[in-house]
Amino acid sequence: MAPSTAVDLLALGWDPALGVHLPSGTFPARVTRVDRGAAESLAGRGPVRARFAGRVRLAAGEDPVALPCVGDWVGLRPADEGYRLVVVLPRRTAFVRGGVERHARGGLSGDGQGQVLAANIDVVLVTEPSRHGDDPADLERIERLVALAWESGGEPVVLITKADLADDLGALLARVTASVPGVEVVAVSAVDGRGVDQVLDRLSGSRTAALVGPSGAGKSTLVNALAGEDVMSTQAVRAADGRGRHTTVHRQLVLLPGGGLVIDTPGLRRVGLYEIGDGVDRVFADVDELALGCRFVDCSHRTEPGCAVVAAVESGDLPRRRLESWRRLQREAAWMATRTDARLRAQQRSWGALHRELRRSGRSRP
C-alpha cells in the first residue's frame, strides 16, 4: 500500500485537462523512476510503485502503446498485488534521442527508432564541464544536445558546470555562446554556488527540467545543490584522467523543496538525432543567415562559386569547425529521416497485409 503522505498534484505539474484521458477506476500519478516492469511514481496519496507488462496504452497518442518514461503522467489502478500502470497520458513535450551508433569505418547505423529520455519537460539543461580531464569543453556535443532540446518542445539552457575549475571561464563562455545562438549559457559550480540560483529561477512553480550531458559533468552534484541536500549519490572523477564515472545509472525525477522538478539522467556517450525538424537550423542560425548571401539558393556550401558561407570561413568570420559540425548534423538528420521513412513504409505494408487478410477472411465466411 502507498504511504499516506499527501502530494499536491499541481506542484508536480499536473494539468487538469489530462483528466479526460484517465480510464474509469484509475487515478493520476507522475513517474519518478522506471525499473524493469515497474514504475515509481508520485500520486496525490503519496509515493506509489506500480507494475506494468511490457508496453502500455498511450492515451490519445499517434502510437497505440509506449513504454512509461520518467516525467510521464500515467493512470494507475489498484490491483491484488498493489497497483497496476494501465495507461500513459498524452505527453506535452519529450526529449528523444535516436538509436544511432558509429561503425568502425565511420558510418552511421541504427534502426530509426527513438528513445524517450524525459517527458513533460519545460527546460532542457544541457550540461558540459568546463574541463573534462585534459580535454576542453566539447562544442559539437553541446550543439547536438541543444538541437535535440529544441526538438523536445522544451527551452534549452546550456550549463557550463565545474566553473570553478576553468582556466579562462570568460573565453569559454564566449565560445559556447557563439555556438548556440539565442540560448542562455550559465556558468555553474556546486562548489562555490555560482549559477545555482539562476537555475532555480528557471524552475519556479511546477516547471520541470531535464539534465542531459556526459558522464562526469556533475549532473547529480548539481541536483543535490538545487535540492539543498544529498538526494542523488555522487562520485569523484577518476584521478588518473579526470574523467567522470557513471554514478547515475537510471533516470530519476526529483521534487525540489522550493518548487519545481528536475530529472537527472545517466551520462550520454553517444546521442543520435531523431526526427529533426528545425532544431539544427536553430542551432546554426548564423550559418543560415550567411547562406542568404550565397549566389545559389541550393548552395551546399562546398565548392559552389559565390558561396557566402565558405567565404566567411576563409575570412575567419565563421570558424571552420562550426561549418564542419553543421555538415555532420545535416547529413545525420537526412540519414535519420530516410530510416524513419523506411520504418513507416514497413509499418504501412504490414497494416496493408493485415487489412487484406481480414478482407479475405470476411469473404470466406459461410
- Per DSSP, the three-state class of 119 is strand
Residue 76 contacts residue 25 (beta carbons within 8 Å): no
- Report all structural domains of the chain as residue ranges with CATH numbers, in order of start: 9-88 (2.40.50.140), 94-264 (3.40.50.300)
CA distance 171 to 163: 12
- Give the separation between CA 283 and CA 281, rounded to whole angstroms: 5
User: Which residues have a Cβ under 8 Å from the Cβ of 237 and sit 6 or more positions away?
Assistant: 133, 216, 243, 244, 245
Per-residue pLDDT reduced to its tens digit, 257-286:
989 999 999 877 667 777 777 889 999 999
Q: Which helix (H) or strand (E) is 86 found in, with range?
A: strand 82-88
pLDDT at 61: 58
What is the arithmetic mean of pLDDT over 226-236? 71
DSSP 236: P
Give the residue carrying C-alpha cell 527540467: 209
pLDDT, averaged across the chain: 83
**Is the pLDDT reported for residue 106 higher than 70?**
no
- Report the C-alpha gap between 104 and 146 in whole angstroms: 26
What does the alpha-carbon distance between residue 275 and residue 113 come to, in Å, rounded to a whole number? 9
Q: Tell the burial category of 181 from Cβ atoms under 10 Å away from its Cβ (0-12, 13-18, 19+).
A: middle
Q: Strand 155-161 vs strand 184-187: parallel, antiparallel, or unpaired?
A: parallel
Q: Tell me the pairing of strands 56-58 and 65-66.
A: antiparallel
Bridge partners for 263 per DSSP: 210, 253
- The pTM (predicted TM-score) of the whole model is 0.82
Tell me the pLDDT band of 237, cut-offs 50, 70 and 90: very low
Res. 45 pLDDT band, cuts 50 70 90: confident
